[in-house]
Amino acid sequence: MNKKITIKSISQQDKTVKASININGHEEIVTTLFNENCAPYISLKSIDPYVIGFLYFAMNYGYDIESKLPISEELYYNLHFHFIDSLIQANPNFHRVQINAPLTQANNISFNNKNIVATGISCGVDSLYTIATHGKQSSIPSDYKLNALCFFNVGAAMKGNYEPSALIEGRKKLAQTFAEEYGYKFLYVESNIHFIINKYAPYSHVENHTYMALFCCLHLQNGIAKYYYSSGYTIKDFSIIKEGNKELDAAHYDLLTLSIASINGCKFYSIGSTTTRLNKVSYLCNYPPAYKYLNVCVNEVQNDNKCFKCIRTILEIDAVGDITKFNKVFDINEYQSNFNWYLRRLYIDCKLKKDPLLQEVYPYFKYKISLTFKLKTIFSIIINKLLRKNG
């Protein structure tokens, strides 16, 4: 007998939505909080957000989903007849989730009331590229221009069993300040769904990030007409195959996930999958808001120049643009003074550790990485290992 996730009830009090969930006999409460701007758009008409939010967990760990509350007919069809079977065909170890719930049809009249065109804002490269290409000053058709920016606190900052609140608050403040400065509605959602999943199996945001964003968006079905999801990979990297114990990054197949979640007059788009990371960085080198808002650090609220994302991004900017334009978000003097240290990290991570994310930028600096430089780097690694071994 398969394990079950039972969605028992969903209720709203002011700007808080609580869902009573039973996970194989254990009672849980999924609590989701919204800011004031979200209030007019909250929808409790279906279990859609919770089906999507728990779906990857259910497929990976053998759960079915049931409820006496309805699921949108369109979402049920997309999942039951297309999405789930596609992932199982590529990953035979996945469980074919059975969804047992009454179906509800969308009210076509309400579609005309949807006027939110949104994207998530983390102030990273992918995020700012989406805003730059689809924002108010872009050349796309007016009905497709952004009018709202979303910050979803649903697992991105999770480390082990906790989340660094200072880091989250800092990122939220940065995102909100950007939205206010450039005239976008700011939508904020946070939930404990990832903590609940983590009680039953290790939660991986790498594997769940698309599902978590959709979990938040589908709570706002009364308002969102279009949502742009910033893709981290190009279309040539599309894959639904989970290799052994490696994580299957949800970004590899977000085109598929977003298409099946496009229901009830809400259309999801994957943005940035038609270009490369360096092309995005090059675009941002001519996008002034990036000069003071670009934020990629995984350790600190402000870019620390030392984490792997900071190192990669500062090298990318230096490769295709004017690094001095970004002196408000990176310590350019430190970078230039310690340039050889950055080259050393690039060589070690790209060539010795085979980091695929650095392969694109390496050719821009390889002429500076001489044979002597390589030999010195390798020799220093050997010496350090010997010292640690004998220390």
* 261 and 333 housed in the same domain: no
pLDDT single digits (tens) 244-257: 888 999 999 999 99
Within this chain, do residues 356 and 259 fall inside the same structural domain, yes or no?
no
The answer to whether residues 27 and 98 belong to one domain is: yes
307 and 258 in a common domain: no
266 CB neighbour count, 10 Å cutoff = 23
**Rounded Cα distance, 85 and 274, in Å:** 26
Which tokens belong to 340? 């050889």
Q: Are strands 116-120 and 103-104 parallel, antiparallel or unpaired?
A: unpaired
Contact by Cβ (8 Å): 213, 120: yes
The H-or-E segment that residue 9 falls in is: strand 3-13
Q: Which residues pair with 162 in a beta bridge?
A: 159
Are 133 and 279 in contact, with CB atoms under 8 Å apart? no
The reply to whether 304 and 346 lie within a common domain is: yes
Give whole-number Cα distances, 221 to 49, 106, 268, 297, in Å. 10, 11, 12, 32
Token pair listed for 41: 């758009």
How far CA 314 is from CA of 2, 210, 302, 343, 356, in Å, comes to 49, 26, 14, 11, 17
Same domain, 318 and 230: no
31 - beta bridge partners?
18
* Cα–Cα distance measured from residue 61 to residue 245, given in angstroms and rounded to the nearest whole number: 14
Task: Enumerate residues 6+ apart whose C-beta is below 8 A from 49.
Answer: 214, 215, 216, 218, 219
In a domain, 25, yes or no: yes
In a domain, 284, yes or no: no
287 lies in some domain: no
Residue 283: inside a domain: no
| H-assigned helices in the chain | 48-61, 73-78, 84-90, 125-134, 165-182, 193-200, 205-218, 254-260, 277-284, 288-293, 308-320, 332-337, 339-347, 371-390
pLDDT at 111: 60
Whether 69 and 193 share a structural domain:
yes
> 211: which 2 tokens?
């599902």
Number of domains forming the structure of the chain? 2
Residues 251 and 306 placed together within one structural domain of the fold: no
How far apart, in whole angstroms, are the C-alpha atoms of residue 54 and residue 57?
A: 5
Interval 136-171: pLDDT, tens: 999 999 999 999 999 999 988 776 666 668 888 999
Secondary structure class of 153 (helix, strand, coil): strand
Neighbouring CB atoms inside 10 A of 63's CB total 23
The predicted structure's pLDDT at residue 108: 46
And the tokens for 378? 């390798």
Whether 112 is in a domain gets the answer yes
Residue 244, pLDDT score: 81
* 290 lies in some domain: no
Where the chain has pLDDT below 50, the residues are: 108-109
Judge whether 286 lies within some domain.
no
59 occurs within a structural domain: yes
**Number of helical (H) and strand (E) elements in the chain, helices listed first:** 14, 12
DSSP 253: G
Residue with the two structure tokens 């102030």: 123
| Domain region containing 135 | 3-240+247-271
Angle between helices 48-61 and 193-200 (to 10 degrees): 20
